[in-house]
Structure 1
Amino acid sequence: MHLLLLSNSTAPGRGYLDHAREEIADFLGGARRLAFVPYAGADHDGYTAQVARALDPLGVEVTGVHTASRPAEVVAAADAVFVGGGNSFRLLAALHRHGLVDAVRARVTAGAGYMGSSAGTNMACPTLRTTNDMPIVQPPTFAALGLVPFQINPHYLDPAPDSSHMGETRAQRIAEFHQENDVPVLGLREGTWLRASDGRLVLGGIEAGAVLFERGSEAEEFRPGAELTRLLTTAAAFDSPAADR
């Protein structure tokens, strides 16, 4: 599979997708038709127009799947699929409602590139259980696309020792996840991404990198350029990508 999984779509002081423009251009390569999935947001037309403006310099034709009576047909005709960020629960509910879980998985398995940012990156995991979002809607299942066999926590934030916030840190939330599940969670800090191609998985982006959490082990830090291919052979602790417990 060919995957580009961004932690975020906008970096401070930069335009939409600007911080990863070179990586996106390389990833899309000769792709000309891109199916954009805007369902994580509320304004589907506006969101699609934003993506089209950002990718226009790359010569990519962007079509919002919401413009078709059968969104899966837009996906089937695309060279690449981009699932944008927003609310993960709303996004997953829409993917199931429009029959896009199987459609996207089939198209990507057949060779199309998959690009996700934030919530779209969550969708590449077995489930959305490591999202940061509020459950504003209830999807029929937590099962997502299962394009990778491990979990990702986008926008990962390190504990701030001088913070007066009394709630759980992101690391503590992930520790709670591991009390119930035995599957690695990769915390992607802002400005980082994962690139999967030809059976390899490589971390890219800013120097801050990412942190890997595994049940029963100390957290492990990785910097851009790190090879994380072993995560692609991780046995997820779920019955299948379609299972929900």
Structure 2
Amino acid sequence: MEDNLLLLSNSQTHNMGVLEHAHEALIDFLAGQRAIYFAPYAAAASAYDSYTATIQEAFKPFDVTVTGLHTVDRPVAALRDAEVLFVGGGNTFRLLKTLHQLDVLNIVRERVTRGELRYMGSSAGTNMACPSLRTTNDMPIVQPASFTSFGLIPFQINPHYQDPPAGSTHMGETREQRLLEFLDENDVPVVGLREGSWLRKRGASLKLEGLTAARIFRRDTEPQEYQPGSDLSWLLTLPTTFDQSRS
């Protein structure tokens, strides 16, 4: 069996409902599946129930049951039998801290890698598929035990990637400048995933899909634009230098 990943930049696109922009991708990703566990941990604990209810409503057209992982007594045991895990967006630091506390990283990594568990992420949940959260956009409102995440792919993603507005007078760093700083310290490709786009991984195949182009950053290389439909499988084979001891 091969691993099966759907990594969305965002769960909601302007003037569209939650997950509406990725409807066809979800039909393909969920083929044959009838039950999903949803991890709402990027939100505040007080919002877990309402966040899960929003996702349950979004999945109604797909005839699947969505269960909040926060409602089960033993998350690790639940994930040993789960068929699909969806990790939602919010604050990446808060999300990763909770995933570490629940001790679910290894079971998810192992089962996804063996092709036993399908993984879907949006925003912070997409960051979690990377080796580290170091290319998140979020403020570190809490401190995880480390920056090490699921590591389902060998490269990094920057969800919600934004180009600087034309004529902007803002003097702070652009998103591109921040990602180039990351590359100063880590020889790991970064996919700048713009709103409305996603990555679809099936085994050794990786494709850019969705509504917008992506911008890929590599050390000592000019950033390059890739259009929806591009085959990005080469990202899965590149050697990387990532010192996880510094997480």
For 2:79 and 2:9, the matched residues in 1 are separated by 23
Instruction: Among all aligned residue pairs of Structure 1 and Structure 2, give the percentage whose two residues are the same amino acid.
Output: 55
Match of 1:127 in 2: 132
Residue by residue over 1:70-97, the C-alpha shift from the partner in whole angstroms, topping out at 9 and shown as x without a partner, is 1112222211110000000000000000
Q: Please state if 1:222 is matched with 2:217.
A: no
- Report the RMSD for the aligned CA atoms in angstroms: 1.2
- For 1:148, the aligned partner's letter is I
1:10 maps to 12
What is the identity, as a one-letter code, of the residue corresponding to 1:58? F
| 1:70-89 correspondence to structure 2 within 5 Å | 70-89=74-93
Aligned residue in 2 for 1:232: 236
The partner residue of 1:38 within 37, 40, 45 is 40
1:20-42 deviations in Å (ceiling 9; x for gaps): 01111111111112111110011
Q: Secondary structure at the match of 1:138?
A: coil
2:214 pairs with one of 210, 214, 221: 210
Q: Unaligned 5+ residue runs, structure 1?
A: none
Amino acid at match of 1:129: R
Alpha-carbon offset, residue 110 of structure 1: 3.0
With normalisation by structure 1, the TM-score equals 0.96
Partner of 1:47: 51
Secondary structure class of the residue paired with 1:107: helix
* Aligned residue runs from structure 1 range 1-245, under 5 A: 1-42=3-44, 43-111=47-115, 112-206=117-211, 208-239=212-243, 243-245=245-247
Q: Deviations over 1:105-150 (max 9, x none)?
A: 1221232210000000000000000000000000000001100000
After the TM superposition, which parts of structure 1 deviate over 2 Å for at least 4 consecutive aligned residues? none
User: 1:69 offset after TM fit, Å?
Assistant: 1.7
**Which AA in structure 1 matches 2:57?**
R
Larger deviation, residues 193-202 vs 228-237: 228-237
Contact 1:34 1:61 in 2 (8 A): yes
- Paired amino acid for 2:9: S
For residues 193 and 157 of structure 1, what CA distance do their matches in structure 2 show? 15
Task: Count the aligned residue pairs.
Answer: 242
In structure 1, what is the Cα distance between the partners aligned to 2:33 and 2:129? 20
Q: CA deviation at 1:153?
A: 0.3
Cα gap change, 1:218 to 1:41, in 2 (>3 Å): same
- Cα distance in 1 between the residues matched to 2:39 and 2:147: 18
The CA deviation at 1:239 is: 4.6
Deviation string 1:175-205 (CA, Å, 9 cap, x unpaired) is 1111111110010010000000131000001
